[in-house]
């Protein structure tokens, strides 16, 4: 019986450790999302203040195998009849610490979070492994192309 008790105690401790790691990964992911969304809102603030671009904030529930269900922010940018959705896809991404898509009815751009130090990158060509650091200038260029 003591072998079973020892086994179950060890299993319980391993589960506790997994929960702690999962919560830390989720916290870091949500922090990275907040930073990206704050940057985007700052980058388009002048257009928003002049009434040229509307910013709508919302939330959505994501479900990831290793993180469970949790709420993430969404951004919708509107200019006239054009609309761009900025939507988190997930934190558990191969080769990155998270992915956010910028979507219209006709096209999609992918941003990945590499690390807290490196920040967010735009996936210019996934097959060739070409990534550009996401900057205000690059985001503005992508947004203008999507709002045509």
Other C-beta atoms lying within 10 Å of the C-beta of residue 78: 13
Question: How sure is the predictor about 72, in pLDDT bands with cuts at 50, 70 and 90?
Answer: very high
Mean pLDDT of the chain: 92
Q: Which of 115, 116, 114, 121 is nearest to 135 (CA)?
A: 121
pTM of the full structure: 0.86
Residue spans per domain, the chain: 2-146
C-alpha angle 68/124/69, rounded to 5°? 5
Distance CA 120, CA 92 (A): 15
DSSP state of 83: E
Spatial contact of 44 and 143, defined as CB atoms under 8 Å apart: yes
pLDDT in tens, 97-106: 999 999 999 9
Q: Residue 71: left if φ>0, alpha if ψ -120 to 50, beta else—which one? A: beta
pLDDT confidence of residue 2 = 78
DSSP state of 106: S
């Amino acid at each position: 019986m003591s072998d079973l008790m020892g086994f179950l105690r060890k299993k319980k401790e391993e589960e506790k450790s997994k929960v702690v790691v999962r919560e830390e990964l989720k916290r870091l992911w949500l922090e990275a999302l907040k930073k990206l969304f704050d940057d985007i809102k700052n980058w388009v603030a002048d257009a928003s203040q002049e009434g040229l671009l509307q910013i709508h904030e919302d939330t959505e529930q994501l479900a990831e195998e290793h993180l469970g269900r949790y709420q993430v922010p969404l951004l919708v940018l509107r200019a006239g009849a054009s609309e761009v959705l900025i939507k988190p896809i997930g934190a558990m991404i191969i080769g990155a610490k998270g992915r956010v898509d910028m979507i219209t009815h006709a096209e999609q751009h992918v941003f990945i979070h590499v690390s807290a130090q490196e920040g967010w990158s735009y996936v210019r060509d996934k097959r060739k492994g070409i990534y550009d650091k996401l900057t205000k200038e690059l985001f503005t260029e992508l947004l203008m192309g999507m709002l045509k």
